[in-house]
């Protein structure tokens, strides 16, 4: 069955407003710490680019790459590191920036991985939270939107590598 982007679940205006709030919240909590924001490639690249410009205090950025999905809409369950950080996080306040927490396996894996490198603190910021699908209990410090169990595309979210460039977040539809 073919799929296509259907109705808008979260509009670009709603995203922009919420990202501004998240940026202010991060600045309030970490204003004097120069936190390191770690974006999870590739999905969170778009969110990360908007989020960091909404944080009005000094920050650092870095990226990690993971692959957890095949070409379909269900996770393979196995998380694989495809690229690592370029800086040490020892003694840093780290905020992991994810596009979505679905089963929780990816964030659980990344959290455990990063904890072994002795950050001063480790928080998680995710744009979307698919609460119903959780299999691993993972603490989330900043959440953009809770969403229902629908596969989404746009604003960084892809299906088989496509649709990341759409400005809004759409539910995927058949047809």
Catalytic (active-site) positions: 102
Within positions 140 to 169, which residues make up the interface with ligand IMP, using CB under 6 A? 151-152, 157
Count of helix runs (H) and strand runs (E) in the chain: 3, 9
Distance CA 71, CA 66 (A): 14
| CB-CB contact of 38 with 64 (8 Å) | yes
Stretch that binds Mg ion, among 2-10, 18-26, 27-35, 42-50 (CB under 5 A): 42-50
Burial of 8 (0-12, 13-18, 19+ CB in 10 A): middle
Rounded to the nearest whole angstrom, what is the least distance from the CB of residue 116 to ligand IMP in the complex? 19
157 binds, options ligand IMP, Mg ion, none, Cβ within 5 to 8 A by partner type: ligand IMP
Which of 23, 39, 43, 104 binds Mg ion (CB under 5 A)? It is: 43
Distance CA 139, CA 107 (A): 9
Q: Is 22 in the site for ligand IMP (CB under 6 A)?
A: no
Rounded to the nearest whole angstrom, what is the least distance from the CB of residue 99 to Mg ion in the complex? 5
Where do the DSSP E strands lie in the chain? 3-10, 36-41, 60-69, 75-83, 93-101, 121-129, 142-146, 152-153, 169-174
Distance CA 81, CA 67 (A): 7
Which is nearer to ligand IMP, 99 or 168 (by Cβ)? 99
Q: Is 75 in the site for ligand IMP (CB under 6 A)?
A: yes
Q: What are phi and psi for residue 132, nearest 5 degrees?
A: -60, -20
Q: Extract the tokens encoding 96.
A: 């992991």
103 binds, options ligand IMP, Mg ion, none, Cβ within 5 to 8 A by partner type: ligand IMP
Which is nearer to Mg ion, 43 or 119 (by Cβ)? 43
Within positions 84 to 113, which residues make up the interface with ligand IMP, using CB under 6 A? 98-106
Q: Whats the size of the chain, residue-wise? A: 175
Positions in the binding site for Mg ion (CB under 5 A): 43
Positions in the binding site for ligand IMP (CB under 6 A): 43, 68-69, 75, 98-106, 151-152, 157
């Amino acid at each position: 069955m073919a799929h296509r982007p259907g109705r808008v679940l979260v509009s670009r205006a709603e995203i922009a407003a919420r990202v501004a709030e998240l940026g202010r919240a991060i600045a309030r909590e970490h204003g004097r710490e120069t936190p390191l924001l770690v974006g999870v490639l590739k999905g969170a690249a778009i969110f990360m680019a908007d989020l960091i410009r909404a944080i009005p205090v000094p920050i650092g950025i870095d990226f990690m790459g993971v692959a957890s999905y095949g070409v379909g809409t269900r996770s393979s369950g196995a998380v694989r590191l495809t690229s690592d950080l370029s800086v040490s996080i020892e003694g840093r306040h780290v905020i992991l920036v994810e596009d979505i927490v679905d089963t929780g396996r990816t964030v659980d894996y990344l959290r455990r991985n990063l904890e072994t490198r002795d950050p001063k603190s480790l928080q998680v910021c995710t744009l979307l939270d698919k609460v119903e699908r959780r299999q691993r209990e993972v603490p989330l410090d900043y959440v953009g939107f809770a969403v229902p169990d629908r596969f989404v595309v746009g604003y960084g979210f892809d299906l088989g590598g496509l649709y990341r460039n759409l400005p809004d977040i759409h539910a995927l539809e058949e047809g």
